[in-house]
């Protein structure tokens, strides 16, 4: 069996006495595409925040390619390729979706703010963004 690219084990999160995530188990294989849907208040944003490190879980593990990243800061997760987008769709109103993803690739590669200095590097970032 191949290691899931993203996995959660027994993920829990409470805000005071309010239980917002309990025992979440996810195993996503490489190349898979899934949708996270549900009504307002169902915990979708909390789950994404837990996975991306914006919120710390009370219990459980988050694994990225088999590595436990549960205690890593969001920036460290980005360096490993785990990124998120927010619902603000006007952050870069003049950029295409590809250009916006390319900026994220440059950040993950430690080239944010310097990609314009090295066009060959930017070309590689565009190729990666296409993937």
Counts for the chain of helices (H) and strands (E), in that order: 4, 4
CA distance 27 to 18: 25
How high is the mean pLDDT of the chain? 86
CA distance 41 to 23: 17
CA distance 13 to 23: 9
The verdict on domain 6-70 having CATH code 3.40.50.360 is no
Q: Is the pLDDT of residue 119 over 80?
A: no
Q: Which of 48-57, 59-68, 80-89 has the lowest mean pLDDT?
A: 80-89
pLDDT of residue 38: 93
Q: Which of 42-46, 103-107, 110-114 has the lowest mean pLDDT?
A: 110-114
pTM of the model: 0.71
Q: Is the pLDDT of residue 79 over 80?
A: yes
Q: What is the pLDDT of residues 1-52, one digit of tens each?
A: 688 999 999 999 999 999 999 999 999 999 888 999 999 989 999 999 999 9
- Kindly list the domain boundaries of the chain, sorted by start residue: 6-70, 97-130
Phi, psi (5° rounding) for residue 6?
A: -135, 130
CA 3 to chain centre: 18
CA distance 32 to 27: 10
Residue scoring higher pLDDT (65 or 104): 65
């Amino acid at each position: 069996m191949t290691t899931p690219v993203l996995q959660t084990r027994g993920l829990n999160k409470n805000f005071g006495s309010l239980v917002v995530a309990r025992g979440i188990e996810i195993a996503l294989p490489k190349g898979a595409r899934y949708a996270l849907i549900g009504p307002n208040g169902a915990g979708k944003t909390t789950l994404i925040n837990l996975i991306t490190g914006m919120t710390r879980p009370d219990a459980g593990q988050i694994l990225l390619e088999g590595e436990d990243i549960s205690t890593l800061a969001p920036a460290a997760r980005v360096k490993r390729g785990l990124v998120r987008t927010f619902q603000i769709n006007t952050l870069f109103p003049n950029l295409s979706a590809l250009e916006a993803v390319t900026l994220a690739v440059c950040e993950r590669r430690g080239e944010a703010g310097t990609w314009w200095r090295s066009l060959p590097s930017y070309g590689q970032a565009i190729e990666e963004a296409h993937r």
